[in-house]
Amino acid sequence: MKKFTRLFLLSLLLGVLFSPALRAFEPIEVTDIRIEGLQRISAGTVFNYLPVKIGQRVGPEDTAGLIRELYKTGFFKDVRLEREGGVLIVSVTERPAIAKIDITGNKSIESEQLLTSLKDIGLAEGRVLNRFVLDQIEQELGRLFFNLGKYGVEVKTTVTPLERNRVAISIDVREGVTAKIKKINIVGNRTVDEDELLDEFELSPTNWVSFISRNDQYSRQKLSGDLEKLRSYYLDRGYINFKITSTQVSITPNKQDIYITVNLSEGDVYKIRDIKLTGDLVAPPENFYPLIHLKRGDEFSRKQVLGSTERITGMLGDLGYAFANVNNIPDIDEETKEVDVTFFVDPGKRVYVRRVNMGGNNETRDEVLRREMRQMEAAWFSGAKVKDSKKRLQRLDYFEEVHVETPAVPGSTDQVDVNVKVVEKPMGNLGAGVGFSQSQGAIFNASIAQNNFLGTGKRITAAVNTSSANTVYSLGYTNPYYTIDGISRGFNLSYKETDFDEVDTARYLIDSFVAGVTFGIPTSDTDRLVFDLDFDSTNFKLGEDASTELVDYQNENGSDTNSLRAELSWSHDSRDSALMPTEGGYQRISGSISIPGSDLEYYRLEYVNKYFIPLSKTFTLALEGDLGYGDSYGSTTKLPPWRNFFAGGHKTVRGYKDFSLGPRDDNGDPLGGNLRVVGNVEVLFPAPFKLMEKSVRIGLFVDAGNVYDITETAFDFGKIRYSTGISGFWLSPFGAFGASFGIPLNDESDDETEIFQFAFGSAF
């Protein structure tokens, strides 16, 4: 490439020096300039680049510069200067324009992405063809495919002339086989086993998860990250002088196998001898030392030193020292292999907030945002309060984005502003949908919801939901700030018709009308107490050939009942997402009771705990437990059948038919019970397809659980049903779709199994 460039420049220079037109070019005073040979490029464009004007004197010594300036535009492949009296004639031959770029043979990278990369180097439809840029196509596309391990990629470019000085460019890509990491060798580790070090790496030789995680595909960025993890591993265990001396990456001649060798020098282990705190301590020393997670005699740990530094900086920020600077200074004694760690504190000036400014809330009222703010105006700045304020605004679900900045006030060294910028979501949703569930058949729904009614933060909903088993009509209203302290109040009305025979349980129907009021009391940013008081009017109807159990219940408790039901619940939600969480947890404890004197007197207690543990950037461990217990009291002889607990199906124990586990009536139909015990363990990971990794999630699960009627029989662990299998969840543009392939592990002859289960239109 360099040789070609030198030859081109030499040819150009010789052409300029020995061109007959230029050798005969005598000094002239330019009276006019004429451009010849233009096709697409305007004369004005040439005049803009031509460094000569009418009236200017031009001699032979100027011509080379004039030609060079026009060549530099990249528009022309030939430029000649001539004179005709006082007229300067500029004859040009334009480079062809690119009419079309076709890319074929690419499977791993979309054509749009490749065209974007080519545009970055100056090759795009509508632009002038530059042969130098054309030579860079192979290099640029090769770089993209190398990042995917396609080291055998071949790129062939064909340029086809078209009419009107245009060309079509065809790029044929032969990707070849993806190179895989065959072996990673670590050399120089004297005290730590190689397998333990390789566990820190994201890269790995091909294994059973490689088709999902692609951890066997080499990339320079991944290797740099792994080397940093390796460095952190040693520095966090006292190896202060640890070094990575060299790294070699080699590929086999067939460009299919990659070998990586990392050479390192461990050095010795150093221990902490002393911990010191110095500088301008704006708080008592006893406030600082609990933040320093180091102990004398322990191995030196860079992670703990940096963490201690961040905690001290955070504490100073919460005290108003927004620009505090904390440095850790290790003093190494090479003879004793010990380290003295000194934390030097420079708090700077204490800062307070001048103004809290809101922006982007075109529909939402300022007060809706300000009541979520924990950082107040004219108060000392607190980093923790600013973060809490942002989290509370995000949890409102009124905004697509929330940005918070804390710029210093110009001309002041002790003031900042807090600028909140939001991007609003549509406040209202008018929707209609259709779904399908194996247990309920086709599901039709229509709803109107205003999460942020008229920008006040109040929620209003109206919905209709119908299926073969359920018909539901509901209205709701919630004011999240019924009081200034954040106590919420809501009202709800609903009418529900349910045919339990349609979901293959006991043969009865209920029509119920519920009217209620709800109060919510926040106890922290993640915890909440909720109190519900509902009036429930229910009509209980026996189905055809109803069982003895149902007939007895109706005879003892009647068909038409009115109850006043109270419920108290506590919930804790620290998940990073409600639909596809990767960390955090959700807990809910609730107890409901029908008030004494109601036609039906009973109570229910429930506990749900979901916990998500990130195992890596790809895998998440999900643990879930569900316990429920209920019973009657007073004059009511038994828990109402429609208030029983059920198990089996996609939300409890997969592989068993919905609601099928537990006690059955004398017709052999599931009746439910007053105790439910369910547990789930699942390893979740995104889809292996890049375009769907944010909307599709796959899981490998083990479920366990059952339902009991402990008023009749004792609890028996031996009756717990188990299943295992694979699940999938897709958050599609048309609604959520869930499916599972579950294999019962200890089913019995009277169990109803259902290996494949799915639902569309609701969360799975």
Beta strands 338-346 and 271-279, pairing class? parallel
pLDDT at 30: 79
What pTM does this model have? 0.60
pLDDT at 545: 84
pLDDT at 68: 85
**Alpha helix stretches (DSSP H) within 184-301:** 194-198, 210-213, 220-235, 285-288
Domain 97-174 maps to which CATH number in 3.50.50.60, 3.10.20.310, 1.10.530.10, 3.20.20.150? 3.10.20.310
Mean pLDDT (the chain, rounded): 85
What is the domain class of 2-94 according to CATH? alpha beta
What is the domain class of 180-265 according to CATH? alpha beta
- Is residue 675 within 8 A of residue 629, CB to CB? The reply is yes
Domain 273-346 maps to which CATH number in 1.10.3720.10, 3.10.20.310, 3.40.50.300, 3.40.50.410? 3.10.20.310
The label of the residue with tokens 């954040």 reads 486
Low-confidence ranges of the chain (pLDDT < 50): 1-24, 430-443, 762-764
pLDDT at 146: 81
- Fold for 428-760, please state it: Porin (2.40.160)
pLDDT at 235: 93
The per-residue pLDDT for range 443-501, each reduced to its tens digit, is 455 556 677 788 888 888 887 777 666 788 889 999 988 988 889 999 999 998 887 76
**Gap between the Cα atoms of 600 and 333, Å rounded:** 78
| Angle ∠(317,323,324) on CA atoms, nearest 5 | 70
The per-residue pLDDT for range 53-112, each reduced to its tens digit, is 888 888 877 788 888 888 777 788 788 888 888 888 888 888 888 888 898 888 888 888
pLDDT at 762: 44
Fold matches, 2-94 and 97-174: yes
**Gap between the Cα atoms of 400 and 386, Å rounded:** 19
Domain range annotation of the chain: 2-94, 97-174, 180-265, 273-346, 352-424, 428-760
- The CATH number assigned to the domain with range 352-424 reads 3.10.20.310
312, amino acid identity:
I
The per-residue pLDDT for range 16-65, each reduced to its tens digit, is 444 444 444 577 887 888 888 887 778 888 888 888 888 888 887 778 88
Nearest partner of 579 among 684, 443, 669, 719, judged by Cα: 684
**Gap between the Cα atoms of 70 and 82, Å rounded:** 15
Q: Is 117 helix (H, G, I), strand (E, B) or coil?
A: helix
pLDDT at 760: 62
- Is residue 198 within 8 A of residue 129, CB to CB? The reply is no
